[in-house]
Amino acid sequence: MHALLAELVRTNSVNPSLTAGAPGEGPIAAILEREFADSRFVVHRLEQTPGRPSLVIRRPGTGGGRSLMFNAHMDTVGVETMAEPFSGRVANGRLYGRGAFDMKGSLAAAVAAMKALPVLAGDVFLAAVADEEFLSLGTEEVLRHYRPDAAIVTEPTGLDLCVAHKGFAWFELTVEGRAAHGSRFDLGVDANLAALPLLQHLAALNAELLARPPHSLLGPPSLHLATLRGGTGWSTYAASCTLQVERRLLPGETAAQALGELPPGTRLVFHRPPYETKPNSPLVALAQRALPQARITGQTPWFDSALYAAAGIETLVLGPAGEGAHADVEWVDLASVEVAAAAYLQIATEFCQTEKHP
């Protein structure tokens, strides 16, 4: 497992939607196709977007049991500021490199669990997906073809059981002015200054959001002004000013509701729903048996778990420990990768050996 993880980290799979010319998921998919070439597994390659493959690896069951899908993304963010992005170096029980934590450690653990599975009543799947770091095209494509009874999204959680995370919505608002020479106050309309009331509105709204009753695991909702673009030069009145706002959504909130709290003229650009599952769900109970010391937690980032939950699939987020997602130094704890693999194996064995209820 450690050797596979090192190979995965040494293999560049930076998302080309984030870094022009990056190789994307293809090289990792080739490694996984090699790893699952024997007859115990069925490998389905999905590639609706050319050059952006996702793989669904199935360990067929004998029939009558529940199905479980593990999910891990193959892509990573960029490496521009990293000194050793693809080293796979091991020191003090940690393996270093881009994607080690987010989330090739999880992928290696899921591969190990799949290979160790006995024959069960139900099918076990591993979805190794593309594009989680941008638009989640891979998981969306997988869910158009598969509907497992439950899913474990193997994002790193420090071996805790994540049962909730926030969603997000991206909004854009443009204020129009009129361009003119900087000396012609009589002709120019400064779009940047005209945006001031909107900035005040956003500041007041964020303060109000932060004062709302918090979610027990996630805290309050929030927003921030992500970008502010206006003007073309020192001596020109700004013809337009564009504000881009990100709003983080609690379970129960929708992008449409968030839009209604923003100034008129704001448009919704993109959004993803929040995720929440019951802490006493059958899947969580199995995970607690496999990891008795694990805590029930919420996580701050958005994961593909929200897409599984939105499809009506019982979902849990569980993965190894480490640090440095999207940072200059990234590492995963190797002992926790081994623990995660053992937990995945135990959960799948218990879940998929149980017959479905009609």
> What is the residue whose two structure tokens read 């337009």?
240
* Residues in a beta bridge with 154: none
CA distance 147 to 67: 9
Closest CA to 220 of 207, 210, 230, 205: 210
Kindly state the tokens that stand for 327: 């940072």
Q: Max Cα separation, the chain?
A: 80
DSSP structure class, residue 239 = S
CA distance 205 to 300: 21
> What is the residue whose two structure tokens read 């190990």?
112
CA distance 85 to 83: 6
Contact call for residues 304 and 275 (beta carbons, < 8 A): no
CA distance 131 to 91: 30
Residue 300 CB coordination number (10 Å): 9
* Residues in a beta bridge with 245: 171, 225
Contact call for residues 55 and 89 (beta carbons, < 8 A): no
Residue 255 is inside which H or E element, if any? helix 255-260
Side chain identity at residue 247, one-letter code: R
CA distance 219 to 221: 7
Dihedral (C-alpha) 149, 150, 151, 152: value to the nearest 10 degrees?
A: -150
CA distance 86 to 260: 45
* Residues with active-site annotation: 75, 132
